[in-house]
Amino acid sequence: MASSSSLLFESILTPLLLLTTFFPSSSSLAGAVNPPFHPRDVLPLLPRQLSWPILNSLHSAVDLLPTFVGAASVSALSSNHTLNWKGACFYENSAWVEFHNKSGSEFGGGTLHIKMSKAHSWTCMDIYVFATPYRVTWDYYFRAREHTLEFEAWEGKAEFEYVKRKGVSIFLMQAGMLGTLQALWEVFPLFTNTGWGENSNLAFLKKHMGATFEQRPQPWVTNITVDDIHSGDFLAISKIRGRWGGFESLEKWVTGSYAGHTAVCLRDSEGKLWVGESGHENEEGEDIIAVLPWDEWWDFELNKDDSNPQIALLPLHPDIRAKFNETAAWEYARSMDGKPYGYHNMIFSWIDTIEGNYPPPLDAHLVASVMTVWNQMQPAYAANLWNEALNKRLGTQGLDLPNILVETEKRGSSFDELLTIPEQDDWLYSDGKSTSCVAFILEMYKEAGLFDPISSSIEVTEFTIKDAYILKFFEDDPNRLPKWCNDGDTVKLPFCQIRGKYRMELPGYNTLEPYPHMNERCPSLPPKYSRSQNC
């Protein structure tokens, strides 16, 4: 009996093959040189045991990301108005925009003309996404001819002027129909809370980052002596299944961080151990900053966290610990307790450069289009994630995403340049200061004196999790680590893994001395994630 996934592919492919049999591309009719099909196009029709290993080698979750091919400009306003590119199916393509006023509206509408030819087979298909700051749509094409996409009316003067100056952005799904379906099959389980989901996250990180995930000997939970944990000790956490496991896998891929969440230890005046965490889910399901007793936090991680977290304790170096001002740290922690997680600046610690932070096929054009989609689907959520932060960078207030893009272009700048402007720790958002999980810890370090004497020239909201654990703040003498640290493991890590089936990796751990304006202009491209000197 065929599996449900095989039936799904067959139900899609069978009518597609019938259509392309009766309606072959015009280029194939003219020259009679194109093959009737490409082997890759019909792989899913073969037995699963044969086809899926091949498809898995050809496509991956990142094939869900469209590639920017260019912007089609307005034909009447440009002597060189035609955009030309090579597609995944059709090898010769061109596009241009024609203004009209079929709707009789004040600013009219337009037609996007797309001319396609030279398909590599009868059975292939190209999928495209089309975007302006005000809309995103998509279409697919399997016939070689001139196609049109209608914009009945522009969204007022702003979209009319934008398209007149910048055109309509075009994105290609490089993997085609079948590759996109295969990519969906790979990305879907990343977010499922199953063994399949966990294995998918491990496979994704191995494939795209070179992670190893070597299994540790049991026990996979350390018998901790809490007295050996001190204020300022750092907790690096890697979730590998469920909603947060999938999200963290994508975060790790784009930033190069081998952990996806963090927390910090604090002792009060009576010696009781607490954990400070930005990203704690409260009873209402909101992600907030919280300071919790160690026993409560540790019990949750052992018995209730279904993401199968791998957790490491990174003890501070004695010299760094001697500088740690507990009073100042507690004052900061209490001032942030209960405030929302720092969604406002979450993506800006990742994007530092125009081109050096986007794993292909990601780029700033795609980021802008994704933002546009979210802006239409969840305007309040989108505003929380990036609109306020982008307004900060422009020195404006209250602009929505389309007007942010228009304002940026009016100033002679670009969206990719806007994204690279460093975040400022003292920026106040509508709900106060905004700190992600790692920014909350590093701001505490800053308040506690660990970045002195260069504290005023450090913006910790620009740090990723990797940027934090490579700081030369942590214990470098294995003889000073607690006796229970890595107990029973044949491999002695330079930090203490306290939970997890797989041995944690933190490349570059504890190697970089702080310097002014660090991490404000750093590239982060896989698989090596090399950083330039003094970036």
Cα gap 237→240, rounded to integer Å: 10
What mean pLDDT comes out for the span 433-450? 96
What mean pLDDT comes out for the span 375-380? 64
Closest CA relative to residue 74, chosen from 184, 150, 195, 163:
163
Cα gap 220→391, rounded to integer Å: 46
What mean pLDDT comes out for the span 81-109? 90
Task: Give the model's pLDDT for residue 484.
Answer: 95
Q: Sign of torsion, CA 52 54 55 56?
A: positive
Residues 258 and 505 sit within 8 Å (Cβ to Cβ): yes
pLDDT at 1 over 80: no
Task: Give the model's pLDDT for residue 180.
Answer: 62
Residue 323 C-alpha from the chain's centroid: 35
Most confident listed range (6-20, 54-68, 383-397): 383-397
Task: Give the model's pLDDT for residue 142.
Answer: 86
Is residue 90 classed as helix, strand or coil in its secondary structure? Answer: strand
Task: Give the model's pLDDT for residue 345.
Answer: 81
DSSP secondary structure, 381-395, as one string = HHIIIIIHHHHHHHT
Residue 334 phi, psi dihedral angles, 5° rounding: -65, -35
* H and E: helices and strands count for the chain: 17, 16
pLDDT at 339 over 50: yes
For 324, the token pair is 């740690």
CA dist 403 → 55, 113, 134, 226 (Å)? 42, 26, 9, 53
Task: Give the model's pLDDT for residue 244.
Answer: 87
Rounded (10°) CA dihedral 329, 331, 334, 340: -70
In tens, the pLDDT along 112-143 reads 999 999 988 877 888 888 988 888 888 888 88
In tens, the pLDDT along 260-276 reads 999 999 999 999 999 99
What mean pLDDT comes out for the span 390-402? 92
- Helix (H) or strand (E) segment spanning residue 293: strand 287-293
For 89, the token pair is 């199916």
Cα gap 281→267, rounded to integer Å: 22
Cα gap 321→276, rounded to integer Å: 17
Strands 67-72 vs 234-238: parallel, antiparallel or unpaired: unpaired
For residue 353, the tally of other CB atoms under 10 A from its CB is 18
Task: Give the model's pLDDT for residue 373.
Answer: 67
- Helix (H) or strand (E) segment spanning residue 148: strand 146-151
Cα gap 438→164, rounded to integer Å: 42
> Which one is predicted more confidently, 220 or 18?
220
For 376, the token pair is 């239409």
In tens, the pLDDT along 29-62 reads 233 334 444 444 444 444 444 444 444 444 455 5
Contacts of 379 (CB under 8 A, 6+ apart): 400
| 508 burial via Cβ count (<10 Å: 0-12, 13-18, 19+) | middle
Cα gap 183→253, rounded to integer Å: 16
CA dist 30 → 92, 121, 144 (Å)? 15, 13, 11
**Hey, what amino acid is at 302?**
L
In tens, the pLDDT along 498-517 reads 999 999 999 999 999 999 99
pLDDT at 9 over 80: no
What mean pLDDT comes out for the span 205-227? 94
Is residue 449 classed as helix, strand or coil in its secondary structure? Answer: coil
Q: What is the pTM (predicted TM-score) of this model? A: 0.76
Q: Sign of torsion, CA 17 19 21 25?
A: negative
Closest CA relative to residue 264, chosen from 352, 182, 324:
324
CA dist 458 → 347, 425, 440, 509 (Å)? 18, 9, 14, 20
Task: Give the model's pLDDT for residue 63.
Answer: 54
Give yes or no for a cis peptide into 219 (omega within 30° of 0): yes
Residue 232 phi, psi dihedral angles, 5° rounding: 95, -15
Give yes or no for a cis peptide into 15 (omega within 30° of 0): no
> CA-based Rg of the chain, rounded to a whole angstrom?
26
Residues 463 and 444 sit within 8 Å (Cβ to Cβ): no
Average pLDDT of the chain to the nearest whole number: 84
